[in-house]
Each structure stands twice: as C-alpha cells, then as structure tokens.
Structure 1
Amino acid sequence: MSGDNGGRATVADGYHVLHVDDDPAIAELAAEFLQRENDRFHVEVVTDAADGCEYLDEHDVDGIISDYEMPNTNGIEFLQSVREHDPDLPFILYTGKGSEEVASAAISAGVTDYLQKETGTDQYALLANRLTNAIEHYRATTARRRQLAAIERAREGISILDTDGEFVYVNDAYADLYGYTPAEMLGEHWSLIYVDDEIPFAEDVILPTVDRDGYWEGETTGLRADGSTFPEDHVVSATEHGELVCTIRDASTTRGPDVARRDDVDHRYPETILDAFDDPVYALDADSRFTYVNAAFTDLVGYEREDLLASDATLVTDDRTLDAVDQALTARAETDTADAHPKRTIDVDITPRNGDPIHCQADLTALPTPDDTPDGTATRLHTTSG
C-alpha cells in the first residue's frame, strides 16, 4: 500500500467502506444489509487481503471490515499492513472464528472493533452502528489534527482557551510573542498576558462582545514574561462549545502609526482559526464570489474548497438570498454610526451538492477596504431545524 493520496478515487458523499472476505456471498449480503441500515454506506467487496491492499492504493476509504480466516494473508496480518500507513483508520475484524487468542492479537495490532459473525440480521444493525461511530470519530479526529497542524504552521500567534479561560492550546508563534514556551502557558489563565489596566476591559467589553456576536477584534496591550509590553492586533472568536480562539499580531511590526489598519479577509478572519470552528464560515467579495471557505462549510455543502473558490455564491444559494444579504447589510439600525460596518443576522437557505436546502441562520459582517468602502461580506452559519 502507498501512503500517497494524490489522484486517488473517493466517494463524494457518505461512508466509503472496504469489506474484505474470501466468501463473496457473505460479504455481499453484509454490504446489502449495511446499506439498508444506513443508505450513506457505499461498500466495496474484495475477496483477499492482497486485493484489499491494491484497492487502498487507489482509493480513499472511511473504514474497513475484514474477515479473519482468509487464504495467504489473514485478517490480523492485513490489519498490521493497514496500520503501517494509517494508525487510526477504522478497522473492524468481523469473523466467524472467535477466540480470546484472536481477539488479543487483534487488539495488539490496533483493531478498532472486533465482532463475531452470527445468524440472523440483527448483527448487521450492530455492525452498522459500530462502523458509523468509528467513522465519525475518525473524521472528527482527522479534521482536528489537520486544523492543529495548520495552526502550528501559522505565522500568527494562535491560542485556544477553555470555558474557564485557561490556555489549552498555544502555538509557538503565540508563545514567542509573550516570551514563554507553549508548555509554560498551558493551564494558565488569559490574564497572564494582560496588563492590569486592561483586564477590566477584557472582562467588560471583549468577552461580552464575543458572547453576543461570536467574535471581537481590536487592539490591546500584550504583557511579556519580562514585564515589557507591546501593541497587539487581537481577534477573539468563539466556538459552539464555548472555547475561545485567539489570534495575535504584533501591531508595531505589522503597521506603522500612520498606516491604515489591514482589514482584509485574512486579517479579520485568519484561515487557520476559522478552520478550527465547528460553524460553517465563508467570505464573498463584492461580486459575490467566494474568497474564503472553512472546512465546516465545505462539509456542509459537499463541494471541494477549490470548486467553491472558483465559483460565486449562486452555487449554493439563490439570487433572492443574495439580495436579502445586501439589503440587511445596507440597512442601518438606529444605533449604527455613519461609518459603522453593520453586522446583521438573517435566515438563509443553503443548497448542498447532494440533498435538499438547509435552513440556516446567517451572521453577516461587511468587510471594508482600508478606505472604509464595502468590499464583500463574511458569513457565519448556524444550522436550524425546520
């Protein structure tokens, strides 16, 4: 098997499962019942481990079901080969040969689950449930790993705070700005890096604004470990689980005192932060063409990021919705000042690649250019029922 994913075939939607069993009749029967239990399953059947390895060289799969007793290579040997290339890919050993010895060997080799074949159809409901749970966990873990890897590579300082306001993640760039190592900051409260005079501002303005709007952006004063301070461009965003994602740039190095503040999409909504959001987020330019989409948005609509960035918003919505967005951002509430960039919440329908329109609540923010003229919108979606 190759570890290279380039050019590999994929299933656009659902769960792509490889079933390896030397008895094709049993495997085809299992595939049929799995698809009855959950129509998201797409099951490919091969009859030996060598064919399974060849299939994995050419296709991405979400999970594997394998028999134990097969000619040439048994299920555990096949599992060991899979684990050399992906330690976490869901792998269920589904076998008629049940023994403590086989179960122990499977666990040692890193099996995800172990089920014995039984008579009757109830076993397929259990198999479908175990496989679904394993795949969803694998997808979430993989996405989180990609997000953290992107954050780690980012030049911006990025941290994540838990609901108690303590650091649970700090990248190297963030720690370097304050003169700490990431390990020294983990478990510390956010007040560690605030000057005393600005702690009330954070408590009375920043946190309530994030709670209300989902994010806050502005300038604060950073406090380094040696007691020195620096001006910082600061964005704080909330995840749906109550975590806070913070990004920091040293304002003294990103702009001079007479230079207009950067308000482009990458600054207001750093990609590395928004890919960590559970909520779908996207940005459009003034012509309603996509300029940014996060991972949650691509998952929602079922299109690849590259396809979206080459298209306009009519790919996933209609002109009526786009007109409603324009009207919402043009309208001024009594509390808006003349130069305010309005933030609005409206209901929208998003149409995925496969499936019916999804009703969402959309938090809209106008994206201005340095001379304060509108230059597109950023939208954060919350899916709703009904």
Structure 2
Amino acid sequence: LSAYVCECVLLFFYLAHCAVADGAHTLTCALMLLNTDLHGHNIGKKMSCQQFISNLDGLNNGKDFPKDLLKVLYNSIKNEKLEWAVEEEELRKSLSELVEEQCEGGSKRVARVTDSSNPFIAIPILLNAVTYKHGVLTRKSHAEMDGKRTPRGRRGWKKFYAVLKGMILYLQKDEYKPDADLSEVDLKNAVRIHHALATRATDYSKRANVLKLKTSDWRVFLLQAPSEEEMMSWIFRINLVAALFSAPAFPAAIGSMKKFCRPILPSSSTRHSQEEQLVSHERQLKQMGVELEEHRKNQPAVDPKSREWEEYRLKEHYLTYEKTRYETYISLLQAKIRAETDDLEKIETSMMGSLFMDGRECLLRKTQSSPSIMDLSHEQNSVRPKKNTQTV
C-alpha cells in the first residue's frame, strides 16, 4: 500500500470515533511517524510512551488527546508493526497540508519549517509575506527549548543577514534579496516570533548593542546589532509584529497535577483586528496579574530546597515573564493605534521622539526589571528611522 492509502485508511477509521477532522489527521500522521520510529532502521533511542504523549500536547485542535487512548495506541504500534514503508518527510508534508490549505489565494508561496525538537510539528510559512525589517545581526544561541542551556559547542557567535518577514525572523548567510528563494539552511535557521519578546540584554556585558530574543517555547537568542539605534529598532519591530499577529492563547488546562507545566502557545496568526487584539492582550495581562498575586499568597511551607519550592519558583518566573510580555504588547499596540498609521517608520520615529523627551537613564534602570515597549517609548533618543519603509 502507498503512504497515501494507508493514511486514508487510518483517517477514516479514526473519524468513525471522532468528529474533528484536523485532530484525526494529526493523530493519524503521528501514528505513522511513531511506527517508523519504533520499527525503522534509525539508530538511537526509541520514542517512549511519555514522549509520544508529550509531542501531541495541544495538537487536538488546541486541546490534548485522551492520555488513555494515546497509551493504548502506543502499545499497539509497539507490539505490532504497521506493515508499510513510508518516508518521514512525506508524513510531515501531509501533516502540514491542513494548515497550508487555510492560506488564502493561490498567489501565496509556502514553505515549511520543521521543529527539530518535535517531529510532529511542521509549520507552513508564507515566503512572500510582508518584510518589516532587514539588516546584519550576529547570533548566539543562549538557551534551547524550555530554557535549557545550549551545549557549549553550539554557543558561538555567527553573523547573519536577518530578515523579519511575517512572523518569521530569517537568518540568512547571503545578503537579503527580496525575490531570491530561501535555501534549506536559511529555513532551518528561521526563528518563529509568535508570542516572543525582545529586550535589551542588560545582563550581558561582553559585547555592545546586544538584544535578547525569547521565543514562545522559551528558547533564548542573543543578537548583536551594528549600533544601538539598530538594536532598539529590532526590539521595537519584533515586539510590535508579535503583538499585532500572535493568536490569543488557549484557555489554561484544568487538572490535579501539582507539577507546573508551561502552556503551549498557538503559532497561527490572529484573526482579530488590532483593537480586538489589544482587548485580548489586556484580558491576558489581567489574568496573569491575578494568578501571580494568588500564587504569591500560597508559598510552600517546606524546605526552600525542596521540589515544591522549585515548582513554585518556576511558576512565579513564568507568570512574571508573561506579565511583562503582555505589558510590552499592550504599550506597543496603544502607541500604534494612537499614531493612526500603518507605516512602521513613522510609528518608530514618533516613539523615538518621545524617548528623547522623557530621558534615557530612567528608562534603562526600569528595563532591567520590566522591559516593555512603554520603556522603549521613553528611551530611544538616538534611533534614526530606517530607509526601508514598511507597513503593518
């Protein structure tokens, strides 16, 4: 049987027990990849049941698949191999076609960026999306997914030509050319900035003009710009694009587990207008404030070195960071709405002017604890408008 026929058989079987086609398609392709992982000729550690369940978190149309069902399916595939040969890349392509079909119009050029940490996720990206900024950046990988420190051999500084296009920051080896196709290496270096936050790297003093970019999955990159003006411009534009287009977070999961698990944030673009997006961010900020206040009222009454205290600190750090991120988004959106224009250059120039009026030193002290765009609008007295005028 071909991979296509096998996929259809599994899909229709699952649809008999599930009314949601997208979730069914996702699980179908996940089972095929699991079969390849458990019974293929790949060298290395096989995927565990817990890894299989974790990889599918939030992929059932924003919800989790029933764990009991996933355990049964895992053990079934483990004990009895599905008899067909299928290429992993073909599975990834099939899995992402559902998202690609939602792209409007046939003129949009689409490629896929696969997250190497999770083989079940391959996100289509629009190659002819709007370009918001481009220029030279030198990158250092500081932390991998979930904040785990990047291994020493992969922390070196590398120079790239950076292009902020749509909600993707492309890091290219060659100089930016608007009509040039991206290479496979360029796509692998791409960084998705949905729900990301860019700030001045105040805790890094070895190089000047360094910004810190923290992504939705808590990877951390240090990016050095040629000048302070360029650094602040990158911070402004990355945060504004993330604020404008990041889809609202899913409602928090409800469960009895005491261990803190950071929620998965959607990678799709919002369907809200900028006014609706502002309301959504304000709602999230209020919720984070309430949760943080409640969390601090319930400190563990045990040894500060215990696991309970570790979980407490992890959640407090997460809530504090999310509160800062939403404050940044709100300040930026408010500034954009007040500007009554979609011209990024005009908005940036206007914000730089207010920075000059309010003074720099006060802002720099404040950004160390709460780096928000409001801070940006009080700091940059030296940022010049960019030559490439783009609109949002």
Instruction: Assess same fold via TM > 0.5.
Output: no
The structure that is strand-richer by fraction is: 1
Task: Write 1 or 2 for the structure with the bigger share of helix.
Answer: 2
Greater RCO, CA 8 A, separation 6+: 2
